[in-house]
Amino acid sequence: MRAIDRAVRWRYPAAVKVLILGGDGYLGWPTAMHLAQAGHDVAVADNLLRRNMATELGTNSLTPIQPLQDRVTVFKELTGNEVRPFFGDLIDAQFVDEVFSEVRPDSVIHYGEQPSAPYSMIDRRHAVATQRNNVEGNLNVLYAMRDLTPQAHLVKLGTMGEYGTPNIDIEEGFIEIEHKGRKDTLPFPKLPGSMYHLSKVHDSHNIHFACRIWGLAATDLNQGVVYGIRTEETALDERVCTRFDYDEVFGTVLNRFCVQAVVGHPLTVYGKGGQTRGFLNIIDTLQCVRLAVENPAAGGEFRVFNQFTEQFSVNELAEIVRRVGGGMGINVSVESVPGPRIEAEEHYYNAAHTKLVELGLHAHPLTDDVVIRMIETVARYKDRILVGPIAPKTRWDPRS
C-alpha cells in the first residue's frame, strides 16, 4: 500500500475518471449520464440486483427501462459520450479488484447496495442478504481503494435513516459532546430503524475506520428520500429513462401517493402520518454528488453531508398530492392504515443540511408543478401499474 499524505486535498483536473458502483440503478444511471455530459470519464459496475429483486417480488418499474448495455449504446448515439459498463458483484473481491485495476478511478461513487428498508425486514433470509450485500461489498471497495487506488475519493451514498428520529437536532455526521468536564467531537449517535438502515451504519463506521487508519478520503452522503425521475439526461429519450418504483417495498412515499391518485386508490398514510423526513428532487441528488466529486475530501478525511433540501411529514405530502390532484380533476382521498413499521408516528425532527449549500447547492423545491409532472408521468404509463404490490404487507414485527 502506498502511503497517503493526510495533509493532501486532492485537486482534480476538469475531467476525472469516475467509477459508479450500482450504475444501473434509479440514481446510478442518471448520475452516470450527468457526469459523462459534464465531461468526466465514466465507468459503471452493476450486478443487476435491483432488477432481480423486482422480479423476485412480482413488482415492476412504472417506466419501461432498457438493459444497461442498450442504455449505454443509446446514450452514446444521442450525445457522443461513452459510459463503460462492467457486470459483476461487489461481494466478489476478485471482480472488484479487476474493475479498480482497469479503471483506476479518481472518484468512486458507491450506490451499489440493496436500497430498501422493507426488503430487509421481510424475513431472516432477506435481512442476512441485505447485510451481506451492503457491508461485505462496501468492505471490498475499501480494500480495493487501499491497495490499488489510495489516491481516489470515495463518495458513498448513505441515508438520513442512520440517525433515526432523536429528540435533539441532527447534526451533519458529528456532534460536540461535553461529559464530566471534558469535550470531544464524536460521530453523531445512530438509531437506525431497519436492517437496511443498520447496514448503512456499519458502512459508515467501516469507511470512517478506513479514513482514520489507512488515510483514505471519503464523503458520506446521508441522503433523504428522493422523488422524481426527470433530469436533463433522462429526458433525452425514453430509452435512457430511469426506473420509477411505487410498490410497498421499493416505492418511496411520494411516488406511491402519485400512483394511488391516478388509479383512484386512497392515499395510504401509515398510522398518524406525523413521520417526518428530509426529501430532495432527483435533480438535486445529481447536483450534490457532482459537488462532492468535484470538491473532494482530503486524504485521511471522513466528511459527512446531510443530503436533502426540505422536510415533510407524510400527512403534508398526502395533502399536497390531494390538493394538486384535485386541481387536475382527480378526486383524491386520504386514508389512514395501520403502520407496518415500528417507528414513531409523531416526533421531533430538525436536521442540519448546510455543507452542500456551502459548496454551491441550489435546491429545486417540491412545487405544485413538480407534482403535476409526476402525476402526468404516472398517467402516461398507467397501463403498466400493478395495483397488488402497493398495499403494505411487510411488517417489522410479523407477530403483531
Residue 213 lies in a domain: yes
- pLDDT of amino acid 8: 47
- 395 domain residue, yes or no: no
* Within-domain flag for 4: no
Q: Which residue in the list 111, 163, 196, 227 is annotated as catalytic?
A: 196
> What pLDDT shows up at residue 9?
47
Q: Which of 302, 309, 396, 296 is nearest to 351 (CA)?
A: 309
Q: pLDDT category, 7, cuts 50, 70, 90?
A: very low
Number of domains in the chain: 1
- At 22, is the pLDDT very low, low, confident or very high (cuts 50, 70, 90)? very high
Instruction: Identify whether 1 is part of a domain.
Output: no
Answer whether residue 192 is part of any domain: yes
How high is the pLDDT of residue 399?
Answer: 84
Query: What is residue 1's predicted lDDT score, i.e. its pLDDT?
Result: 39
User: Considering the entire predicted model, what is its pTM?
Assistant: 0.96
Asked if 73 is an active-site residue, the reply is: no
Choosing from 200, 231, 234, 355, the catalytic residue is: 200
Cα 161 from Cα 175, distance rounded (Å): 17
Q: Report pLDDT for 312.
A: 98
Phi, psi of 32 (to 5 degrees): -60, -50
Average pLDDT over residues 214-235: 97
pLDDT confidence of residue 180:
98
Mean pLDDT of 333-343: 96
Question: Does a structural domain hold residue 3?
Answer: no
Percent of the chain with pLDDT over 90: 96
Give yes or no for residue 158 having a pLDDT over 80. Answer: yes
pLDDT tens for each residue of 68-80: 999 999 999 999 9
Give the model's confidence band at 113: pLDDT under 50 very low, under 70 low, under 90 confident, else very high: very high
Task: Give a yes or no: residue 63 inside a domain.
Answer: yes
Asked, for residue 397, whether it belongs to a domain, the answer is no
Residue 3 pLDDT > 50, yes or no? no
Per-residue pLDDT at 338: 95
Q: Which pLDDT belongs to residue 12?
A: 55
**pLDDT of the residue at 400:** 72
Identify the domain containing residue 63 by its residue range: 17-390
For residue 283, which of 391, 198, 362, 394 has the smallest C-alpha distance? 362
Residue 296 clears pLDDT 60, i.e. is over it: yes
Among 31, 59, 63, 159, the active-site one is 159
- Per-residue pLDDT at 172 exceeds 70: yes
Tell me what the mean pLDDT of segment 358-377 comes to: 98
Average pLDDT, the chain: 96
Task: Please tell me the distance from the alpha carbon of residue 25 to that of residue 52, in angstroms, as a whole number.
Answer: 12
Q: What is the mean pLDDT of residues 63-69?
A: 98
Q: Is 76 a catalytic residue?
A: no
User: What is the b/e burial string over 40-64, where b = at least 16 CB atoms within 10 angstroms of the residue's CB?
Assistant: bbbbbbbbebbbebbeebebbbbbe
For residue 161, the domain's CATH number is 3.40.50.720
- Classified as helix, coil or strand, 301 is coil
Q: Where are the alpha helices (DSSP H) in 45-136?
A: 49-57, 68-79, 93-103, 117-120, 124-131
For residue 170, count CB atoms less than 10 angstroms from its CB and return exposed for 0-12, middle for 13-18, buried for 19 or more: buried
* 381 among known catalytic residues: no
- Tell me the average pLDDT across 109-137: 98
Residue 105 grid cell: 478511478
pLDDT digits (tens, 9 = 90+) for 378-399: 999 999 999 999 999 999 998 8
Alpha-carbon span 176 to 249, nearest angstrom: 36
7-11, 280-284, 294-298, 357-361: range with lowest mean pLDDT: 7-11
Mean pLDDT of 131-158: 98
Model confidence at 13: pLDDT above 60 = no
